[in-house]
Every structure is written in C-alpha cells, then in structure tokens.
Amino acid sequence: MLGSTLEAMWSSVESGLAEILSSNIFSVLLHEKSEQGDVPFLRRALKEKLDQIPRSQLPQNYPGFLFKAGILPEFPSKIEHLIPAQRERLAEAARLEARLLVGGLAASGGVREKRAFAAVISARSLYRLWDSRYPSSETGAWWFSEGIYEMVTGIAPKDQQEALRNLLAVSRDWSNIDRVSVMHLDSQHEIPAVVAMGLAQPFYSTGMWTKFLADDSDAAKRQRKDYYAKLGTRLEGGKTQFYVAWTPKHLVQTHSILP
C-alpha cells in the first residue's frame, strides 16, 4: 500500500512536469549550447533519421529536447507559434522527458516525494553548492532558495560551509562544496523545475568506505579515521530544493568562495 501511495505521488509530479513542458517554450533556454546541442549540430542531424541516432548522442540541453520533439531551428519563442502537429509531438516528448527526469529524481533518494510538485520558476534568485575540482558542476541540477543562504550569512566561512552541508544534506564524499553560485531570474526568465523537500543523509554516503579500504596512503588513513568518527552522523536536510533539468548557464555566476 505504501509503495502504491509513493508511486502515485511521483506520478502526480510527473504529470505536472509533462504539462509544463508541453505548454511552454522556455525562451531563456533556447540559446544554451553544448558539444552536440548547438544549432549547426541540429541542422546536420536533420540529414539523418532521428530514430537511428543513439539517445546518448542526442543533445541533452533544452534545444535538444525541442529537437527530439520535432521542433527544429530556428526555434519559436512562444508556444502559440507551433502548428497543431508540433504541439502533439511536443506533448508526447514532454511525457517521455518527464518520466525520465522524475524517475531519476525518485531513484536518487535525495528528496521527499510528499508535497513535491513541478513548477515554472521566475522572478527570484536560486543558489547552488558545487565543487571547484569539477568546474562543470557549477551549473548542475540542484539549487536552493535565497532564504536558506541568508540563514548562514554573517557567520564565518568555515561555519557557513558546515551549516550549508547540514541544511542541504550534501554527503561529504558527494562534494567539497567550496563554491556557491547564484542564478538570477527576472520576471522574463522562466525555467521548469521540480520543487521538493530534501531528505536527511549520512555524513558519508553508503558504501563510501569501499573507496579507500585498500589505500594505505596518509590521506586515505585520515579519511578512514574521519569516516568512522562520522559513522553515525546524519545531515539534517529538510529544506526546499529545486531540481532544474536545464540551467540557463549565462545567468549563473560565482557568488561566494568557501574554504
């Protein structure tokens, strides 16, 4: 019974996200590029049959989503500009994309399904913790509100880092969280997102110990010692998080550098 209830909750999020993706064109995301997602790539791909291109080779940004829906460059800036056949293909693609995104979100175990919902986000600032060792993580999927960041404003940087790790339940081995980015969205900037409460997490994620079990370096010994010291420690979580499938990278900037 519980499993059916949880499935129904995520199903509601999935249907809500599908509706959002099928009834909007997110113009702020139209110019986001990737190695395979820019307009020249899409035009070249038109010469091939779409169903013969492996999904892994298709662009994963928002223009790529529209391309998979049969909407081709130059992309329309408003949903009203689509003809009925395009609207139908967009609705079909939106259902598939929502199933994949919400399925992955549910499987992650990072957020609570209760009261989770899909929404169009605009006219606000969102913040993200990331790891400077991996520059591409600056614009990942997980974001949090300005209100949470304000909770740690004014305290020492080291304490900020520890407080944010606890509030957002970022396991130590997931990220160093030594950078904070901000994405400013004005009233003209709309993006789709899933909004949900973060779940508590262990200080080190399950199975972390296997990564340094056979390593006898001094660094590994220190990490093992810290791992066992934190074995029973739980990160609180419980704060609202925004899962953003496509980030407008040109609106993101580094806001703070933590130790």
The residue extents of the domains of the chain are: 2-108, 117-257
pTM for the predicted model, two decimal places: 0.86
- Give the bridge partners for 193, in sequence order: 119
Which residues, including other chains, have CB under 8 Å from residue 141's CB and lie 6 or more apart? Answer: 243, 244, 245, 247
Q: Which of 89, 88, 71 is nearest to 30 (CA)?
A: 71
| Tokens coding 117 | 């919902």
Q: SS3 of 197, please?
A: strand
- Please report, in tens digits, the pLDDT of each residue of the chain (259 residues total): 434 444 568 999 999 999 999 999 999 998 766 544 556 666 666 666 555 666 666 667 898 888 888 887 778 889 999 999 999 999 999 999 999 999 999 998 899 999 999 999 999 999 999 999 999 899 999 999 999 999 998 898 889 999 999 999 999 888 999 999 999 999 999 999 999 999 999 998 877 766 666 677 887 788 788 888 888 899 999 999 999 999 999 999 999 988 7
- For strands 191-197 and 240-243, give the pairing: antiparallel
Residue 59's Cβ-count burial label (10 Å; 0-12, 13-18, 19+) is: buried
CA 229/CA 232 separation, integer angstroms? 8
The phi-psi region of residue 25 (left if phi > 0; otherwise alpha if psi is between -120 and 50; otherwise beta) is beta
